[in-house]
């Protein structure tokens, strides 16, 4: 059954005046003739446990709504200010709780925060929105039984750690593909966990219903100068919080492999979306983005998990985005300038296809002597992740 898809088109008038942005936060300002499009990903930590004590968590789905309506949560204002400073044209928000009624969720954030000047920065408007259900917190038919699989994805309530895409460019809503219900077992040569003797770690009743995506995988076609750009959004599970079976590490690897196979010229006929359409994309411009929870040099992910994308012939192999703040956060780590998470890892990615020209890139992580350092002081200030952006030359899309 095809899941409910939602794309809302709104218009608004920009108000206010802008503030100067520092080059270390935004990269060198590009001349008008470059005509770039900025694409970003940002794990915003806008889920209920950031606004309530976890052991007293209201799981009714009203926590984020109430936080947005209150106007009293500085973290939300700071998230909006970071977006206003970096000004992406397309942005994926990870960990924005799924609220099916946009008037109680994403529209509140847009209208009361993004479209209102934060600390003197120019408001920003996104006429096009995409959001859809995710697997986190969704109970399986085995809930209440002696089963390892009580939920399709970790979450204390349905939609926790959800995601949403905001765009200044039109979204072809009727062509969006979602892979929320794709079964892990249906991936050939999958890494579903096993015991040392080779037997399956999941029982047959579990493996028969185990979904691959811990949240969801979305292919969102966006119209740019009458050309199509496929935004491939996801948020794979962290490769930790498990045991020797490494179920989360293996799931993370295969969640990333889904995109690797999806963009390849062959080997993707096994993939089916929630509408039953099979196959991947070829000869199509795309951007893979999200909190991918994987690094090939830091952390606990399988080294090949992210490498299978970074080294893919259809993925642009531009140098990793950097920041001074990240470098100073872990000065002993040689990779620190490319980190996107406070604990010291490159976890968040914007990966354009190889036919797209990358003009500039960066991570919003101000150093201690730069404007905006207070916005990234800790998770309570904004998030434990940083916004990552890439500027793509529009000519590389429009001249196809």
- pLDDT tens figures, 156-201: 999 999 999 999 999 999 999 999 999 999 999 999 999 988 899 9
Range of the domain at 237: 6-13+22-398
- Cα–Cα–Cα angle for 389, 232, 121, nearest 5°? 30
Q: What is the DSSP string of 363-387?
A: E----TTSTTGGGGSSTTTS-SB--
Distance CA 270, CA 277 (A): 10
Is residue 83 in some structural domain?
yes
Q: Which residues contact 130 (CB under 8 A, 6 or more apart)?
A: 5, 6, 7, 164, 165, 167, 171, 173, 176, 218, 220
Q: What is the mean pLDDT of residues 84-102?
A: 97
Is residue 1 in some structural domain?
no
Q: Give percent above pLDDT 70 in the chain.
A: 91
For 266, counting Cβ atoms within 10 Å of its Cβ (0-12 exposed, 13-18 middle, 19+ buried), the class is: exposed
User: Per-residue pLDDT for 332 more than 60?
Assistant: yes
Structure tokens at 352: 């354009």
User: Per-residue pLDDT for 17 more than 50?
Assistant: no
User: Per-residue pLDDT for 23 more than 50?
Assistant: no
HEC sequence for 125-181: CCCEEEECCCCECCECCCCCCCCCCCECECCCCCCCCCEEEEECCCECHHHCEECCC
Q: Measure CA of the first residue to CA of the last residue in the chain; give whole Å.
A: 35
Structure tokens at 60: 């009714």
Is residue 38 in some structural domain?
yes
pLDDT-derived band at 352 (thresholds 50, 70, 90) equals very high
- pLDDT tens figures, 241-284: 999 999 999 999 999 999 999 999 999 999 999 999 999 998 89
Q: What pLDDT is recorded for position 400?
A: 66
Q: What is the DSSP string of 78-128?
A: HHHHHHHHH--SEEEEEEE---SSGGGTHHHHIIIIITS-STTPPP----E
pTM score: 0.91
Q: Which residues contact 25 (CB under 8 A, 6 or more apart)?
A: 85, 86, 323, 362, 364, 366, 370, 371, 372
Q: How far is CA 362 from CA 63, 127, 284, 350, 367, in A?
A: 32, 25, 25, 10, 13
Is residue 87 in some structural domain?
yes
Query: What is the SS3 assignment for 54?
Result: helix
Structure tokens at 189: 């040569």
Number of domains in the chain: 1
Query: What is the SS3 assignment for 6?
Result: strand
Is residue 52 in some structural domain?
yes
- Report the CATH number that the domain containing residue 179 is assigned in CATH: 3.60.10.10
User: Per-residue pLDDT for 128 more than 50?
Assistant: yes
Is residue 157 in some structural domain?
yes
Q: Residues in the chain, how many?
A: 400
For 304, counting Cβ atoms within 10 Å of its Cβ (0-12 exposed, 13-18 middle, 19+ buried), the class is: middle
Q: What pLDDT is recorded for position 8?
A: 36
- pLDDT tens figures, 171-183: 999 999 999 999 9
Least trusted range by pLDDT, from 41-50, 176-185, 294-303: 294-303
Q: Are 218 and 274 in contact (CB under 8 A)?
A: no
Q: What is the mean pLDDT of residues 324-342?
A: 97
Distance CA 184, CA 213 (A): 8
Q: What pLDDT is recorded for position 33?
A: 45
Q: What pLDDT is recorded for position 212?
A: 98
User: Per-residue pLDDT for 83 more than 80?
Assistant: yes
Distance CA 232, CA 113 (A): 26
> Element (H or E) spanning 305, and its range?
helix 303-310
Is residue 262 in some structural domain?
yes
Q: What pLDDT is recorded for position 34?
A: 47
User: Per-residue pLDDT for 1 more than 90?
Assistant: no
Distance CA 26, CA 323 (A): 9
Is residue 315 in some structural domain?
yes
Q: What pLDDT is recorded for position 140?
A: 96
Q: Give percent above pLDDT 90 in the chain.
A: 84
Q: What share of the chain is helix, strand, coil (3-state, %, to 5)?
A: 25, 20, 55
User: Per-residue pLDDT for 13 more than 90?
Assistant: no
User: Per-residue pLDDT for 327 more than 90?
Assistant: yes
pLDDT-derived band at 145 (thresholds 50, 70, 90) equals confident
Supply the angle between the helices 247-262 and 303-310 in degrees, to the nearest 10: 10
Structure tokens at 335: 């990779």
Q: What pLDDT is recorded for position 57?
A: 79
Rounded to the nearest integer, the mean pLDDT of the chain is: 90
Distance CA 256, CA 93 (A): 18
């Amino acid at each position: 059954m095809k899941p409910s898809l939602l794309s809302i088109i709104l218009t608004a008038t920009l108000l206010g005046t802008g503030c100067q942005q520092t080059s270390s936060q935004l990269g060198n300002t590009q001349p008008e003739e470059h005509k770039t499009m900025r694409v970003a990903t940002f794990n915003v930590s806008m889920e209920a446990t950031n606004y309530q004590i976890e052991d007293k968590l209201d799981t009714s789905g009203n926590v984020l709504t109430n936080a947005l309506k209150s106007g009293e949560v500085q973290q939300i204002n700071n998230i909006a200010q970071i977006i206003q400073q970096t000004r992406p044209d397309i942005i994926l928000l990870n960990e924005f709780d799924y609220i099916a009624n946009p008037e109680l969720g994403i529209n509140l954030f847009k209208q009361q925060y993004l479209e209102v000047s934060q600390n003197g920065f120019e408001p920003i408007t996104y006429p096009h929105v995409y959001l859809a259900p995710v697997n986190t917190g969704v109970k399986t038919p085995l809930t209440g039984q002696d089963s390892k699989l009580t939920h399709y994805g970790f979450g204390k309530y349905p939609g926790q750690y959800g995601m949403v895409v905001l765009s200044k460019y039109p979204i072809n809503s009727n062509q969006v593909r979602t892979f929320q219900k794709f079964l892990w077992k249906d991936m050939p040569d999958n890494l579903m966990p096993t015991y040392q003797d080779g037997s399956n770690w999941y029982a047959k009743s579990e493996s028969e219903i185990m979904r691959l995506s811990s949240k969801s995988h979305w292919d969102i076609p966006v119209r740019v100068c009458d050309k199509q750009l496929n935004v491939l959004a996801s948020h794979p599970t962290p490769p930790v919080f498990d045991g020797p079976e490494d179920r989360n590490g293996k799931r993370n690897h295969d969640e990333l492999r889904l995109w690797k196979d999806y963009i390849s010229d062959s080997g993707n006929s096994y993939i089916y979306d929630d509408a039953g359409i099979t196959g991947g994309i070829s000869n199509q411009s795309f951007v893979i983005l999200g909190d991918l929870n994987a690094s090939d040099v830091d952390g606990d992910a399988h080294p090949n998990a992210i490498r299978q994308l970074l080294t893919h012939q259809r993925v642009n192999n531009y140098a990793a985005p950097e920041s001074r703040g990240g470098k100073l956060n872990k000065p002993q780590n040689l990779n620190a300038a490319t980190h996107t998470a406070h604990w010291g890892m490159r976890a968040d990615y914007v990966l354009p296809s190889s036919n797209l020209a990358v003009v500039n890139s960066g991570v919003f992580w101000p150093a201690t002597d730069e404007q905006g350092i207070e916005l990234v002081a800790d998770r309570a200030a904004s998030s434990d992740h940083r916004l990552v952006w890439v500027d793509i030359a529009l000519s590389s899309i429009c001249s196809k």
